Amino acid sequence: MTNDKVAIVTGAGRKNGIGAAIARQLAREGVNVVAADICAPTSDLPNAGSAAWEELKAVAAEIEALGARSLAVKVDVTDAASVEAMAAQTKERFGRLDILVNNAGAAIGPGPVLLMAEEAWRRTLEINATGTFLCCKHALPLMIEGGNGGRIVNMASIAAEKPKPFVSAYAASKAAVVALTRSLAQEVAERDITVNAVLPGDVDTAMKQWGLQLESLVKQQPYEEVLASALARIPLGRLASPEDIAQLVAFLTSEGAGFITGQACNITGGRELS
């Protein structure tokens, strides 16, 4: 059974991705979901995890099959007008906003700083950090207008705290997301809006598989050895599933998390302990 709450989840178009898992989990808990993604051709955003429009619509259909209402929206989180339009569509369809999950992200052109293209650096920060900022800025008025408080969850990464070589742009962008989270949490606390960041470790997604394949190529090691090495760094001995991340996000957006704000919540299987 649905309730009146409405969530926006960006980067929700990939069926097997973290955003889609979050959207489905929120729907199971009765939340109506705006599923948003850029729906750009892979050639335009290599390794950004973008979904096709038909794939995004399929995720929205899954949400409705779970008993919640849904809306599929194309959005470019780096473009203020596009983000404003997403907020306007949300208001037109549902009349309110209670939850914002900034999940859209990318790792474009990773490599050593000496060889990294400036465009790769700029686009990575633009999508991950500026995109999160713009979505917060343009979604907050609708959330505040409702007068019922709200929840914002920003997707960061363990790379924000324990960056590895060759991912400087990605790590810097996710560290910026954590800093934004902690600052914004203080700004909106008086309105009963909480703001938290989620820091996944290694998650079994298409983007992670691409990262492992790239590492295999760079190190000239078989893929199986690179994967085994990654698993050896995780005390729980496995990659996270998108559903693992979705469960944490669902809690942080629930009534039970009303006294948690400004936090960077690791979900890594204990990887940062090793």
pLDDT tens for residues 30-78? 999 999 999 976 555 444 455 689 999 999 999 999 999 999 999 999 9
Residue 83 has pLDDT above 60, yes or no: yes
How many Å apart are CA 201 and CA 194, to the nearest integer? 23
How many Å apart are CA 252 and CA 117, to the nearest integer? 36
How many Å apart are CA 87 and CA 79, to the nearest integer? 13
Residue spans of alpha helices (H) in the chain = 18-28, 53-65, 80-94, 118-125, 131-146, 168-188, 206-219, 223-232, 242-252
How many Å apart are CA 106 and CA 126, to the nearest integer? 10
In degrees and rounded to multiples of 5, residue 9 shows phi and psi of -125, 115
Residues tagged active-site: 170
How many Å apart are CA 152 and CA 140, to the nearest integer? 9
Contact by Cβ (8 Å): 178, 156: yes
Q: What order of strands is seen across the sheet that includes strand 6-10?
A: 70-74, 32-37, 6-10, 99-102, 150-155, 193-200, 264-267
- The CATH class given to the 6-201+241-262 domain equals alpha beta
Tracing tokens 């929700």 back to the chain, one arrives at 12
The whole-number average pLDDT for the span 97-105 is: 98
Query: For the segment 108-149, what is each residue's pLDDT rounded down to a tens digit?
Result: 988 899 999 999 999 999 999 999 999 999 999 999 999 999
Most confident of 90-94, 206-210, 228-232: 90-94
How many Å apart are CA 99 and CA 157, to the nearest integer? 20
Residue 235 has pLDDT above 80, yes or no: yes
Whole-number average pLDDT of the chain: 93
Give pLDDT, residue 19. 97
Q: Is the dihedral of CA 147, 150, 154, 155 positive or negative?
A: negative
Residue 215 has pLDDT above 80, yes or no: no
Give pLDDT, residue 2. 56
Query: If we measure between CA atoms, which residue out of 270, 88, 260, 123 comes closest to residue 181?
Result: 260
Contact by Cβ (8 Å): 244, 267: yes
The whole-number average pLDDT for the span 197-209 is: 90
> How would residue 205 be classed by pLDDT, with cut points 50, 70 and 90?
confident
Contact by Cβ (8 Å): 179, 246: no
Q: Which amino acid, one-letter code, is at 131?
A: G
Percent pLDDT > 90 in the chain is: 80
Least confident of 28-37, 137-146, 204-213, 248-257: 204-213
pTM: 0.93
Cα-Cα-Cα-Cα dihedral of 11, 107, 132, 201, to 10°? 80
Q: Pairing mode, if any, of strands 264-267 and 99-102? A: unpaired
> How would residue 217 be classed by pLDDT, with cut points 50, 70 and 90?
confident
Give pLDDT, residue 48. 46
Domain spans of the chain?
Answer: 6-201+241-262, 202-239
Residue 164 has pLDDT above 70, yes or no: yes
> How would residue 207 be classed by pLDDT, with cut points 50, 70 and 90?
confident
Give pLDDT, residue 80. 98
